[in-house]
Structure 1
Amino acid sequence: NDIVDEAIKGEYELRKKYEESLFGIIFNNLEQANPVRRITLSNQFRMHPVIGNFISKTYYNGIISSDLVKIESKQHGLQLPWAKGKVAVFCDVPRSCGSEYRGGKSKERRAEAERIVKLLDDLQKDPAFDHLNVGIITFYSKQVELICEVASGRGYTELDGNGSYVIKPQYQMTPDGREKLRIGSVDSFQGKEFDIVILSTVRSNNFKRIDENNLKVFGFLTLGNRLNVAFSRAQKLVITVGDRNMFSDEFAETYVKGLYEFNKLTEGEYGNRIQ
């Protein structure tokens, strides 16, 4: 459908310009104004080294080091069988569970929303979670709404007087005064940090995997800087929820490198794959 293709392309171009305005223009203007002041940081202290090294390798050509991170301060302490000692988890929701759905100009996937809320239920059962906070990130406004709707059925969210979903009071703050739970688009997480990040990828389709279809197949996931923002919000654990087959071939390596590399990371010592 040419109209849908053009709509997707238009959305992508708009977001690309927005991304460039955030990351490129300011950066370049700063360099022109004072080249000496533009510095690329060579060490990170915010994330578990496994997450830090994954992001450095995928997005910064390996130049950012995590060698100075105190690992004990970045351990989540969860004892859940699938999470214990792990830093990168891929929760596979295959297309047989239900594919993506286009609602208006955005995308949603109910099977992922339901699985994410089950993950929240799981985390609640672990005593270590009392002191941890979690950010649930997606690239699609419809998916934000759907996750909030499903979460309301489990008591995590409720409708306010304006008909918008908000986090229920008991899930708003950790004992040390940090934001306990946030559900939102990647843009609403700019500058935020969470112990655990759950990323809802949404895309699950059988479009032909040819170069000219990359936007139709992956949409906003092709924006590397936005994926980088999503992954790098996590300090201790990243859980990617989605159709893992979408991100495991050379086509994925070309157009959504971050998700391809994360999928590989979950094969290793600090990774896990669950359904």
Structure 2
Amino acid sequence: MDFQQLHPKSKVIASPLNIQHRMHPDIANIVSKCFYDGELETSEERIEYCNKNNSSVVLNPLPVFFQPAIIWIDMPWIQNTLGMQTGEEMPRYTNKDEIDAIEIIINNLQRTQDTKSSLAILSPYRRQVKKIKEHLESKVELMSHLEDTFSIQADSAPCHTVDSFQGNEADTVIISLVRNNNAPNIKSSLGFLTDARRTNVLLSRARSKLIIIGSLDFLESNFSQARNEDDKEKIEPIKKLVNLIRASDNKTSAIINYKTIRGWSK
């Protein structure tokens, strides 16, 4: 059952579900604090299950004892990175660096159980989803690894827009946020990321592991661009998300620099 329907004139949920039963509690905690004023709780059964059972996949080369449910792959912000020319690219709302990051992440995900788990690769942007899918499906060895690791359709990378995946879920979810620019205002800079409903769907689809790819510096740069109450309301969920990730004790989530994972590339 979903819980992403927002009241049209408020960031308060119209009919909140107080108890959730499917997400890892650390993922649910992020969703709860970003969208439900901390009122969404995880069932005791789900907490007990997650405490007793390891994730169905691990991200190498992180050690087995350090496999948080939430991993943020921190991309460099184009404005702060000397010599960086990319970020968002043409066609609009695509980001090649994030596609490369997805390839590296997939190559380093390893199954820990006999039974294959599910995977979804999500983005708010249709063009980015198309680019990701085309890139992954062009890599024979990578697709073989995907099929060995996850329960997916043969020769088909499980890539979806946030809208097309609404109402679905997967054990592991990889998110490409795409946005990385120098735009002068909130709307131009963040686009769909100011849509609380879509952002909620993005963050709440993962049952066990959530891997987010995006630039924390870029997102933080938008906080000071909120010029009025409407801007402040639009940016509030993203601001809460970034602050929660930054404040993590490294047990519930981890930030890994893009430069670091490039050293993992096979």
Q: Which amino acid aligns with 2:34?
A: T
Partner of 1:219: 191
Distance 1:263 1:69 in 2: 29
- In the alignment, which of 89, 95, 110 is matched to residue 101 of structure 1? 89
Q: Kindly tell me the number of residue pairs found equivalent between the two proteins.
A: 224
Distance 1:82 1:204 in 2: 27
- In the alignment, which of 238, 241, 266 is matched to residue 259 of structure 1? 238
Larger helix proportion of the pair: 1
Distance 1:141 1:214 in 2: 21
Partner of 1:147: 132
Contact 2:33/2:240 (8 A) holds in 1: no
Distance 1:186 1:70 in 2: 25
Gaps of 5+ in 2: 9-13, 227-231, 259-266
Structure 2 length-normalised TM:
0.72
Closer/same/farther in 2, CA of residues 245 and 252 from structure 1, 3 Å limit: farther
1:183 aligns with 2:134: no
Closer/same/farther in 2, CA of residues 252 and 265 from structure 1, 3 Å limit: farther
Q: Mean Cα displacement is larger for which, 140-149 or 255-264?
A: 255-264
- In the alignment, which of 197, 201, 205 is matched to residue 173 of structure 2? 197
TM alignment of 1:68-147, pairs within 5 A: 68-74=44-50, 75-77=54-56, 78=58, 80-82=60-62, 84-94=66-76, 95=78, 96=81, 98-103=86-91, 106-123=92-109, 125-128=110-113, 131-147=116-132
Gaps of 5+ in 1: 1-21, 26-37, 159-166
Q: Which amino acid aligns with 1:85?
A: Q
Q: Mean Cα displacement is larger for which, 45-54 or 80-89?
A: 80-89
Give the Å deviation of 1:229. 0.5
Give the Å deviation of 1:89. 1.1
Contact 1:172/1:181 (8 A) holds in 2: no
- In the alignment, which of 19, 43, 65 is matched to residue 41 of structure 2? 65
Deviations 1:78-102 (A, max 9, x none): 2634473301111012134521024
Structure with greater Cα Rg: 1
Closer/same/farther in 2, CA of residues 69 and 58 from structure 1, 3 Å limit: farther
**SS of residue in 1 equivalent to 2:44:** coil
Distance 2:101 2:114 in 1: 18
Partner of 1:273: 255
Q: Which amino acid aligns with 1:101?
A: E
Q: Which amino acid aligns with 1:99?
A: G
Structure 1 length-normalised TM:
0.70
CA RMSD of aligned residues (A): 3.3
Closer/same/farther in 2, CA of residues 143 and 170 from structure 1, 3 Å limit: same
Distance 2:145 2:252 in 1: 33
Contact 2:194/2:238 (8 A) holds in 1: no
Distance 2:193 2:141 in 1: 27
Closer/same/farther in 2, CA of residues 206 and 155 from structure 1, 3 Å limit: same
Q: Percent identity?
A: 25
Partner of 1:29: none
Q: Mean Cα displacement is larger for which, 148-157 or 242-251?
A: 148-157
Give the Å deviation of 1:153. 2.9
Distance 1:128 1:251 in 2: 45
- In the alignment, which of 196, 204, 207 is matched to residue 235 of structure 1? 207
Closer/same/farther in 2, CA of residues 173 and 239 from structure 1, 3 Å limit: closer
Distance 2:252 2:7 in 1: 33
Deviations 1:157-179 (A, max 9, x none): 99xxxxxxxx999479629x9xx
Contact 2:119/2:151 (8 A) holds in 1: no
